[in-house]
Amino acid sequence: MKKGVIIRIGITYLVVIVSLVFFIFPMLWIIYSSFRTQPSIFTGEIISSVKEYTLENYKTILSVTDFVTYFINSFKIAIAVTLSSLIFSISAAYGLSRFRIRGKNVIILGIFSTQMFPIVLLIIPLYLIITSFGLLDTVIGVVIGHLILVLPFSVWMLKGYFDSIPVDIDDSAKVDGCNILRTLFYIIMPIAAPGVMVVGFFSFIVSWGDFLIISIINQSQRTATLTLVIQRLSAALLIRWGEVAAATTLTIIPTIILFSFVQRRLVEGLTAGALKE
């Protein structure tokens, strides 16, 4: 093997390792701190004595706070956002990809333009709309707010993926007697499964980790989510960082589990959609 090739491989591995340390180390430190007592966190020691490790942080979070209720709320809202996002984005993306629609470019530009502005600018209009429809402090109101965040990317992602699938497949399905819905769900969807998986995962993660939208719509425990728990723990007069770390750890575990199941499909969906026939 040539010396130049070895150097390039070494640099590649070095960049990968540094990137992994940069992104993973904070997460590992949070998990590690969740098992430490409050005094041991402020000692400055990286490795504490055995006596300073405890499960009390987790016991406090699960027993004193309504963590389970917030967890159920977060899961319920994230699932609703994911399913709604898939239904709307698949329909819109397939229509924009396959049909001649008057003003299609304007519609696509309108979808993309929503990503040009910070979401903070939409807070006041969103609050007024949610309030006027009587959806304040309701799951439906939160789902609508989260859909504003995820739908533009979802439609763009799936449209690009559908564009990569030859139109001849649709024509062959029509010859065999399939209507539009049967063609979409029985022919196109199995081929586009990796792209759909990316959109579903993206929608779930955005909804699961959102704080901005939920902070203006939430008024009670009925719609309170895990991000509100962490914020309230962090805003206390005496911040118990062990409990904050424990709540954060319990919050990120579902996303890690979900990613471990869909990671292969995610890679396929993020790469295959860029290739066109």
- Which residue in the block uniquely carries the two structure tokens 């904070």? 26
- Of the candidates 253, 14, 10, the residue with the CA atom closest to the CA atom of residue 1: 10
CB of 224 within 8 A of CB of 72?
Answer: no
CB of 259 within 8 A of CB of 201?
Answer: yes
User: Which residue type occupies 245?
Assistant: A
User: In the chain, count of helices (H) and strands (E)?
Assistant: 14, 0
The domain limits of the chain are 55-272
Query: Mapping DSSP to helix (H, G, I), strand (E, B) and coil, where does residue 99 land?
Result: coil
State pTM to two decimals.
Answer: 0.85
Half-sphere exposure of 131 (CA within 13 A, CB side): 9
Instruction: Find the helix or strand (DSSP H, E) in which 260 lies.
Output: helix 241-272
Structure confidence at residue 79 (pLDDT): 95
Average pLDDT, 10 consecutive residues per value, the chain (277 residues)? 76 85 86 89 78 89 87 94 95 88 81 78 88 91 92 88 86 85 87 88 93 88 88 78 90 88 70 49
Structure confidence at residue 83 (pLDDT): 96
Structure confidence at residue 1 (pLDDT): 58
CB of 161 within 8 A of CB of 195?
Answer: yes
Structure confidence at residue 145 (pLDDT): 92
- Of the candidates 181, 112, 90, 153, the residue with the CA atom closest to the CA atom of residue 104: 112
Q: Any residues with CB less than 8 A from the CB of 69 and at least 6 apart, and which?
A: 221, 224
Query: Residue 192 forms beta bridges with which residues?
Result: none
Structure confidence at residue 277 (pLDDT): 42
Domain 55-272 has CATH 1.10.3720.10: yes
Task: Give the whole-angstrom CA distance, residue 232 versus residue 152.
Answer: 31
Structure confidence at residue 269 (pLDDT): 61
